Amino acid sequence: MATATSTPTTQSDRLHSYNPATGQSIGSVPIQTQAEVDAIVARARVASIAWSQRSFAARREELAAFRRAIAAHADALAELIHRENGKPEIEALTEVMMALSHIAHAGACAETALATHKVSSGVLANFRATVSYHALGVIGVIGPWNYPLFTPMGSISYALAAGNAVVWKPSELTPLVAVEVARIAAATFALPDLLQVVTGAGATGAALARSAVDKVAFTGSAATGKRVMMAAAERLTPVLLELGGKDPMIVAADADIAKAAEACVFGALTNAGQACISVERVYVEDKVYDRFVEEVVAQVRELKIGGDDGHLGPMTSPAQIAIVRDHLDDAVAKGAKVLTGGSAAISGAYIQPTVLTNVDHRMKVMTDETFGPVIPIARVASLDEAIRLANDTTFGLGSSVFGGKGVRGIAAKLRSGMTAINSVMAFSGIPSLPFGGIGDSGFGRIHGDEGIREFTRVKATAEQSFSLPINMMSFRQPADAVTKMRGMIKQLYGDGVVAKAGDLYRKLRG
């Protein structure tokens, strides 16, 4: 197994991307400066104006062509994701498929999600009130390395469908996937500057956050998210933050234990645990705890680590290996029991899937994002205790619950942006469901109608349809205006009187 040597290094003015399984460089990209980023954003601005003026149907057609082009390159893109990120081929292909589902959904649903609609005009009953949505202009998308295509596409496709141009800064660990997607985009869209990529490390990301973009959609760690927000604050640029998580899973005594264990093993270990919505901690009711742990351990022992067809690949980022090791050592020092894997079994870039028991909230592995192949399982005396512990976190991204009767009630009590019932992570694969978190997991939503509207400005229009005797937008009032106004207040908002605005205006009209 290879040693972890995939730290990006800069040689002259280029950034190298390394295969985490071998430590070999697989390509390099330029490190772009503030001036270069600004020039690219200016070109995107020109493209955004033309793109926003196209009809929904025209944009839908171009997004469909883009989707087909990405699908035609699915194998090559998956191969690049596999080599650059380290995930097994099947997971890389799944990632491409999920990215495609979002491009398809965003293109198909934008017109409905952004349709101008009438709303109640309330006390101003002589007005026609409408809400409309308009493209913001240029969206800066800053992406992570763990899902280098799927995650940014969750912002990019929705931003494009809403009529914006996009400038995308991929992670310095996985820039080649983005460069390839930008090449496909330039060859597909009639406007070659509609989706552009800027490359470099954090400084290039900061340059994009400081540039003249109209919104920044950031996915990454909470620490970097705060820096992005501060940089964007210079121009009061709005931000969307998709940050980390510490997703809990609850297993009730009446759950199907084999299925719950199978989902837990996948949810915690897919992409070697490097998913923002990984199952990061598990709470199991006392009655089924031993059986669940036994089942999880048995399934973990079946997994193949490494190789193109392995279940788990290498860790993408060497820095993350140190974090996982620290969490494991901290847990063991505080009394956790290691049933599989463990800190001593870490070899180069590979971490053996690790099942821990005897865990509690004094341990980092139960409170901080581990982002590695670790399954800490806690025994709970009741579902109330499980819910209390699941909500005992500063994060609030995803969550999952397995059980029979009452499972929806448990799900409703979980304080998170998303919950999967008798499954894990499923909400991320349903493009019509909004994706995002609360607390340290960030704010704003991608995917779904909310994810399309996230990349628009909302406009309120009030159109006067006819005049009333009292015009609140005028100094010219009839002599009895004060009396009429008092009457209105009483009728509309007074004790025990429920009057509809429509009835009132009929009365006032005479």
Question: What tokens appear for 385 in the block?
Answer: 């205790």
Amino acid found at 281: R
Question: What tokens appear for 77 in the block?
Answer: 């893109």
d(CA 319, CA 316): 9
Residue number with CB closer to ligand NAD (348 or 398): 398
Backbone phi and psi for residue 302, each to the nearest 5 degrees, phi listed first: -80, -10
111: annotated active-site residue: no
482: helix, strand or coil: helix
Q: In what order do the strands lie in the sheet with 127-135?
A: 117-119, 127-135, 456-464
- Least distance in Å: CB of 156 to ligand NAD? 13
109: annotated active-site residue: no
Look at residues 248, 233, 293, 310 and name the one whose alpha carbon lies nearest to residue 1: 310
- Least distance in Å: CB of 171 to ligand NAD? 4
Bridge partners for 340 per DSSP: 355
CA distances from 174 to 31, 53, 135 (A): 13, 33, 29
- Least distance in Å: CB of 244 to ligand NAD? 3
Residue number with CB closer to ligand NAD (8 or 163): 8
Minimal CB distance residue for ligand NAD: 205
Give me the residues that bind ligand NAD (CB under 6 A), please.
142-147, 151, 169, 171-172, 201-202, 205-206, 209, 219-221, 224, 227-228, 231, 242-245, 276, 369, 371, 397, 437
Residue number with CB closer to ligand NAD (188 or 416): 416
- Least distance in Å: CB of 345 to ligand NAD? 23
Angle between helices 222-233 and 202-210 (to 10 degrees): 40
Residue number with CB closer to ligand NAD (144 or 342): 144
DSSP 350: B
Q: Radius of gyration of the chain from Cα atoms? A: 26
Residue number with CB closer to ligand NAD (216 or 488): 216
d(CA 177, CA 200): 14
Residue number with CB closer to ligand NAD (95 or 369): 369
Helix (H) or strand (E) holding 464: strand 456-464
- Least distance in Å: CB of 208 to ligand NAD? 7
* CB distance 92 to 150 below 8 Å: no
d(CA 257, CA 250): 11
- Least distance in Å: CB of 504 to ligand NAD? 48
Per annotation, catalytic residue among 109, 180, 276, 280 = 276
Residue number with CB closer to ligand NAD (213 or 293): 213
Per annotation, catalytic residue among 95, 242, 295, 454 = 242
- Least distance in Å: CB of 158 to ligand NAD? 13
Total residue count of the chain as it appears in this document: 510
* CB distance 287 to 337 below 8 Å: no
Look at residues 146, 157, 61, 182 and name the one whose alpha carbon lies nearest to residue 101: 157
- Residues designated as active site: 242, 276
